[in-house]
Amino acid sequence: MFALLPFCVFAQQSIDQRVEELLSKMTIEDKIGQLNQMDGRRDVEKIKDEVRRGTLTSIMNIVDPAVTNELQRVAIEESPAGIPLLFARDVVHGFNTVLPIPLGMAASWDEELIEAAARNTALEATERGIRWAFAPMMDIARDARWGRIAESFGEDTYMAGRLAAAVVRGYQGESLSDQTSMAACAKHFVGYGDAEGGRDYNTTTIPPRTLRDVYLPPFKACVDDGCASIMTSFNDNDGLPSTGNRWLLTELLREQWGFEGVVVSDWGSVAGLIPHGVAHDKRDAAQQCIVAGCDVDMSSRSYLLHLKDLIEKGEVDEAVLDEAVRRVLKLKMELGLFEQPYARTAEKSDIYSEEVLNTACRLAEESVVMLKNESVLPLGEDVKRVLVVGPMADAPYDQMGTWALDGDKTHSVTPIMALREEWGDRVVIDYIPCLTHPRDKSTAEFKKMQKAARKADVVLAFVGEEQMMSGEAHSLSSLDLQGAQSQMLEAVAEVDTPLVTVFMAGRPLTIARQVEISDAILYAWHPGTMGGKALANIIFGKSSPSGKLPVTFPRNVGQIPIYYNHKHTSHRAKGTEGNLDSIPREAYQSVMGHTSSYLDVAPSPLFHFGYGLSYTTFELSDIAIEKTAVTADDTIRVSVVVKNSGTREGTEVVQLYTGRKTASVTQPMKELKGFQRVTLAAGESRKVEFELPVSRLAFHNRDMVLAVEEGKYTLWLGTDSQNGLKTYFKIIK
Ligand code: BGC
């Protein structure tokens, strides 16, 4: 045991020197052990044996500090090299206090609040001994069939980068060595969200330019923000599984981007090269992945079993092993594990603290998107009796969504609980769930529901998805409401009482019919622990909805993939297509023109990216751009006056898009390049200013070089991706 030098000696040396010193004393077995990560959900005595033998660098999924501290003691006092362990967990959206799913967080467009909530999450998780969090996930997701869209920040590259960087800042805090900080892990590198057909783990076929312009930039943003680690993805892109892709993990990530942190495989994805069909066995897989630049083998034990032999036989250079170990040791030192290896003890626990819950509630409120409101919401003084129906009205577990590993459902505030608690004194609240869970097909309670609806001033229907309907390996081919939920809404809509439908789901569902028959629609995603309170606040107008869609809502599954920043194409749809009934039987050639569209559905989505209503209204005017000709290293300054033209306070998200018609390669119609939340009192106006570095407009040109191209651009400042004021500028030499 030689690792735990006295702190005073360490403090005098730089981390690099300390790493070298430690590395020089390690045996090949010690080193290989530092690249092996294991799941901790097994017999603790068996894990202890492994730790004692020095075969583990990191253990996942143990959140009991009594256990982690004991394992840590064994690592330090009894393992050959005495190197502390790093405890890891999927801390994806909150820890004990569950935040809205990342897709919901993204709907807030509020990076400051996301950062604050992520900081709280780090406080909770580090109290349980976790110092490495497998998040943020920043896969670009344009296919709602993919269950993991829930874990993403949606379809937009710029937005995903900004919000993921906020999570990294929140998790990693001011300094990694602070005991309340966790190393973040940007995942999944790369392209995983583009799984063919939306089937999880499926092949992706992303061409080099799209990979660079759409899928890689969020990772680059996190690398630039000091993200400590990166996780590879399961998918193979164009023939190469990421975990064995040397171009990706070494040439691009390390040599071009200068990333110095740790690369970890996804679960078993080193050995995953075998079923992918590019490795014969674990030995072959280990060889390919370590050489590619994957430092830590999560749970496949391929490195542990074969690296020694590979090195002895000269098939892997020991220098490659050293390089990977160096990075792991550096991370452990940066986290201060050699000085403070044990779970921190908080004087006052942050777990489920008032501050943590309040922030979670604000984020849940801001994540709710109002998609329709025919003057029903917020419920006013005249509402005396409310009927609450639907399986999500009281689903404390389901409302936490996917990856809520540490959320305790007994802490969840469900809509029915919050409505009763906050408004029960003033309003009679009847509750008939009708369905026990979202896949329940029973219609037995419908008559009773209709009778109660007749007596009510308004019906609040809570529908959506169970927790297990989205997330990893939970893809769907139909995005319609499950079970008898649609029938339940049809039945209640037959009664002439205003109907407010609230969706709580892990993804955009196909909701065209429900939008038609409801008087108001709130889309609340899976809102987490405080979801019910957030919704009650919005429904009764304590706060106004301010969420905006981070993802396009399709009219039907056949439209997928559908996203706002699609290319121009040579046969652009005009918006009139898709009416099959209007086509005469004798039509030979299409009477709708030859456009990129469907015969049976409009080319437009049901709701577009960036869309969301408020209880007040906003008007934009006076767009002004400082200079209409700029050079590549300039910054564009542009402003717009936003007026709250309604009668109550509210928040608008002003969105900046740019686009160009002609370039050396085809371009998206428009692309998000900035956004700001603006809170205004009734009647108040404010000039909102944006600074847009021209470098943000760079793309990979015809020569595959990242560059800003000269030419004419349109710039929109709007309240969503389709509505806004525009101006023009030129990029000149
Ligand atoms: C997921 C990762 C996750 C890992 C560890 C994998 O199956 O793809 O996102 O971090 O498991 O739990």
Q: How far apart are CA 22 and CA 35, in angstroms?
A: 15
Of 139, 213, 236, 266, catalytic = 266
Task: Check residue 209 and give its pLDDT.
Answer: 98
Looking at residue 583, its pLDDT comes to: 77
Report how far ligand 1's centroid is from the alpha carbon of 188 (Å): 9
Query: 3-state secondary structure string, 71-116?
Result: HHHHHHHHCCCCCCCEEEECCCCECCCECCCHHHHHHHCCHHHHHH
Q: HSE, CB side, 13 Å, CA atoms: give it for residue 243.
A: 30
Q: What is the CA(513)–ligand 1 centre distance, in A? A: 35
Q: What residue spans in the chain does CATH classification 3.20.20.300 cover?
A: 6-89+184-334
Report the candidate in 122, 198, 107 with the shortest Cα–Cα distance to residue 156: 107
pLDDT at residue 32 in the model = 98
pLDDT in tens, 351-404: 999 999 999 999 999 999 999 999 999 999 999 999 999 999 999 999 999 999
What pLDDT shows up at residue 593? Answer: 72
266 a catalytic residue: yes
User: Which is the closest atom of ligand 1 to the Cα of 187?
Assistant: 9
The vertex-585 CA angle with 581 and 589, nearest 5°, equals 95
Give the residue-averaged pLDDT of 35-59.
Answer: 98
Interval 547-596: pLDDT, tens: 999 999 999 999 999 999 999 999 988 877 788 887 777 766 656 678 88
Backbone angles phi, psi at 293, to 5 degrees: 120, 15
Q: Can the peptide bond before residue 700 be classed as cis, meaning omega within 30 degrees of 0?
A: no
Domain with CATH 2.60.40.10 in the chain: 618-731
| CA-closest candidate to residue 716, choices 588, 596, 564 | 564
**pLDDT-derived band at 252, boundaries 50, 70, 90:** very high
Residue nearest to atom 11 of ligand 1 (CA): 267
pLDDT at 594 (0 to 100): 84
Task: Give nearest CA residue, ligand 1 atom 7.
Answer: 267
Q: Looking up tokens 């200013």, which residue turns up?
A: 689
Residue 267 alpha carbon to ligand 1 centre in Å: 6
Which amino acid makes up residue 376? V
* Best probe residue, ligand 1, of 266, 296, 299 (max atoms within 8 Å of C-beta): 266
How many whole angstroms from 357 Cα to the centroid of ligand 1? 26
Among residues 418, 428, 430, 434, which one has the least CA distance to residue 388?
430
| Shortest-distance atom of ligand 1 to CA 61 | 12
Q: What is the mean pLDDT of residues 343-348?
A: 94
Distance CA 158, CA 672 (A): 7
> What is residue 1's predicted lDDT score, i.e. its pLDDT?
42
Q: Which of 250, 238, 237 is nearest to 294 (CA)?
A: 250
Q: Provide the pLDDT for residue 10.
A: 53
Q: pLDDT (tens digit, 9 = 90+) per residue, 518-555?
A: 999 999 999 999 999 999 999 999 999 999 999 999 99
HSE, CB side, 13 Å, CA atoms: give it for residue 115.
13
- Give pLDDT tens digits for 332-341: 999 999 999 9
Residue 20's pLDDT band (boundaries 50, 70, 90)?
very high
Question: How far is the C-alpha of 141 from the C-alpha of 150, rounded, in Å?
Answer: 9
Q: What is the pLDDT of residue 13?
A: 82
Nearby residues of 9 by Cβ (< 8 Å), 6 or more positions away: none
Q: How is residue 371 written in tokens?
A: 């998609």
Angle at 612 between CA 606 and CA 615, to 5 degrees: 130
**229-232 and 262-264: which strand pairing?**
parallel
Mean pLDDT on 299-314: 98
Portion of the chain with pLDDT greater than 90, in percent: 94
- Write the residue with the smallest CA distance to atom 10 of ligand 1: 134
Residue 465 CB-half CA count within 13 A:
30
What does the pLDDT read at residue 591?
60
Helix axes 318-334, 302-312, angle to 10 degrees: 140
**Residue 328 has what pLDDT?**
98
User: Structure tokens of 478?
Assistant: 């139909």
Q: Which residue has the higher pLDDT, 731 or 594?
A: 731
pLDDT band at 93 (very low <50, low <70, confident <90, very high): very high
The tens digit of pLDDT for each residue in 650-702 reads 999 999 999 999 999 999 999 999 999 999 999 999 999 999 999 999 999 99
Tokens linked to 162: 């900004």
Q: What is the reported pLDDT for 588?
A: 62
CATH topology of domain 618-731: Immunoglobulin-like (2.60.40)
* Mean model confidence pLDDT for the chain: 96
| Chain segment 205-223, per-residue pLDDT in tens | 999 999 999 999 999 999 9
What is the residue with the minimal CA distance to atom 8 of ligand 1?
Answer: 266
Q: Which atom of ligand 1 is nearest to the CA of 134?
A: 10
- Helix or strand holding residue 520 (H, E): strand 520-523
**What tokens were used for 674?**
């900035």
- Three-class SS string for 32-50? HHCCEEEECCCCHHHHHHH
Distance 479 CA to ligand 1 centre (A): 24
| pLDDT surpassing 90 at residue 285 | yes
CB of 673 shorter than 6 A to ligand 1? no
User: What's the pLDDT at 592?
Assistant: 63
Q: Whose CA is nearest to atom 5 of ligand 1?
A: 267
Q: What pLDDT was estimated at residue 3?
A: 44
Site to probe by mutation for ligand 1, drawn from 87, 134, 232 as the one with most ligand atoms within 8 Å of Cβ, is 134
Coarse DSSP helix, strand, coil percentages of the chain, rounded to the nearest 5 percent: 35, 20, 45
Secondary structure (3-state) at 607: strand
Which fold, 6-89+184-334? TIM Barrel (3.20.20)
pTM tops 0.75, yes or no: yes
Residue with CA closest to ligand 1 atom 4: 267
Q: What is the DSSP letter of 709?
A: P
> Tokens in use for 164?
């993921």
Q: Is the CB of 267 under 6 A from ligand 1?
A: yes
DSSP string, 271-329: TTHHHHTS-SSHHHHHHHHHHHT--BEES--HHHHHHHHHHHTTSS-HHHHHHHHHHHH
**How remote is the C-alpha of 394 from its chain's centroid?**
25
Which residue's entry shows tokens 């692309």? 671
Q: 151 CB less than 6 Å from ligand 1? A: no
d(CA 17, CA 5): 13
Outline where 424-483 has alpha helix (H). 446-455
Å from CA of 266 to ligand 1 middle: 6
Q: Is 77 exposed, middle or buried (0-12, 13-18, 19+ CB in 10 A)?
A: exposed
Contacts of 575 (CB under 8 A, 6+ apart): 602, 603, 604
Read off the tokens for 97: 């206090």
Cβ neighbours for 521, distance < 8 A, ≥ 6 positions apart:
370, 371, 372, 373, 500, 501, 502, 503, 511, 514, 515
CA distance 609 to 141: 13
| Ligand 1 pocket member 187 (CB < 6 A) | yes
Of all protein residues, the one whose alpha carbon is nearest to atom 12 of ligand 1 is 90
Distance CA(624)–CA(713), nearest Å, equals 15
